[in-house]
Amino acid sequence: MDSTTRYTTLTVQVSDRIATITLNRPDRRNAFTRDMGTELSHAYRACDTDDNVRVLILTGHPPAFCAGADLSPGDTVFTTPAADFSAAGVNPPAWRLRKPVIAAVNGHAIGIGLTLALQCDLRIMAVDATYAIPQVRRGILPDAYSHWTLPRLIGISRAAQLLLTGTTFDGRQAADWGLSTQSVPADRVLDTAYELARDLAVHTAPLSVAAAKRLLWSTFEHDAAHIGSSETALHLHLMSQQDAKEGVRAYLTHRPPNWTGTLDHLPPHPRS
């Protein structure tokens, strides 16, 4: 990605093929604003098209992940939407990226702070932090596709509890419900996310991950026959790539793989 890009509400660092996107408004506990949504959208797109990036980590400047919408405008914050307002928060959402996105939720995540994390593929969450989707307690509606993501992650009954009541919970409950991949102490969240990201960046083939991610997130949009035929088509495509040989060679010779496939080699997403 373009290293000259400067953001005002977040930072982006790329190292060892891992892009770390940090929400960076510590004076407001990284509260979400329209500008942050615009910049996060830009960062997502830039990372997705950069062959030097294989994994993304989304985190927040300590001690919070994101306190939710910035309420500093007072009681007009939700009543003066921009002409192009969208409840999505970001465009594209994290699940639309072709690379795995890990949410390193290193502190409190409230409202859109949590619903943005729900868009990610994997979540490492602070066990002692506070989480909630309290929009119904503010006279508005949960956002960022949470009515679509949350039932898929934890089932409609538990999703109803969180979306309709705005209840508060912690990282232990998030782990019990399957909302987090792991719940660890706050000071271990980012290190745990990096351990996972490094494993993905080295040992998983970018094309294979992109294909699997596409199928995973489209599972509930199609029937079994469609997913089955898509699996076959993508298998045949990956079988024609050099990485299908390299993965086996690396395994048999006990060495890290040298992946050469790029996401330009991924077939276009079929219309349906």
pLDDT for position 224: 87
Task: Measure the CA–CA gap between 245 and 46, rounded to whole angstroms.
Answer: 30
Task: Please give the average per-residue pLDDT across 4-22, as a whole number.
Answer: 94
How far is residue 46 CA from its own chain's centroid? 15
Task: Please give the average per-residue pLDDT across 26-44, as a whole number.
Answer: 96
**Residue range 97-148, pLDDT digits in tens:** 999 999 999 999 999 999 999 999 999 999 999 999 999 999 999 999 999 9
Q: Is the pLDDT of residue 61 over 70?
A: yes
Query: Could you tell me which CATH class the domain 205-265 is placed in?
Result: mainly alpha
| C-alpha dist (Å) from residue 24 to 58, 60, 89, 114 | 11, 6, 16, 16
| C-alpha dist (Å) from residue 28 to 24, 78, 266 | 9, 18, 40
Q: Is the pLDDT of residue 51 over 50?
A: yes
Closest CA to 64 of 6, 115, 129: 129
Task: Please give the average per-residue pLDDT across 219-247, as a whole number.
Answer: 88
Report CA dihedral (156, 160, 163, 167) to the nearest 10 degrees: -130
pLDDT for position 84: 86
Domain ranges of the chain: 10-201, 205-265
Task: Please give the average per-residue pLDDT across 216-232, as a whole number.
Answer: 88
Task: Measure the CA–CA gap between 188 and 210, rounded to whole angstroms.
Answer: 28
Average pLDDT, the chain: 93
pLDDT for position 7: 96
| C-alpha dist (Å) from residue 81 to 63, 70, 78, 265 | 29, 13, 7, 40
Task: Please give the average per-residue pLDDT across 86-94, as a whole number.
Answer: 93
Q: Is the pLDDT of residue 272 over 50?
A: no
pTM of the model: 0.93
**Residue range 127-136, pLDDT digits in tens:** 999 999 999 9
How far is residue 164 CA from its own chain's centroid? 23
pLDDT for position 223: 84
Report CA dihedral (133, 134, 136, 142) to the nearest 10 degrees: -30
10-201 to CATH, choices 3.90.226.10, 2.60.120.10, 3.30.460.10, 3.40.50.300: 3.90.226.10
**Residue range 193-207, pLDDT digits in tens:** 999 999 999 999 999
Task: Please give the average per-residue pLDDT across 236-256, as a whole number.
Answer: 91
How long, in residues, is the chain? 272
pLDDT exceeding 70 applies to what percent of the chain?
Answer: 97
As given in the structure block, the two tokens for residue 135 are 């929009």
pLDDT for position 271: 55
pLDDT for position 4: 63
Q: Is the pLDDT of residue 250 over 60?
A: yes
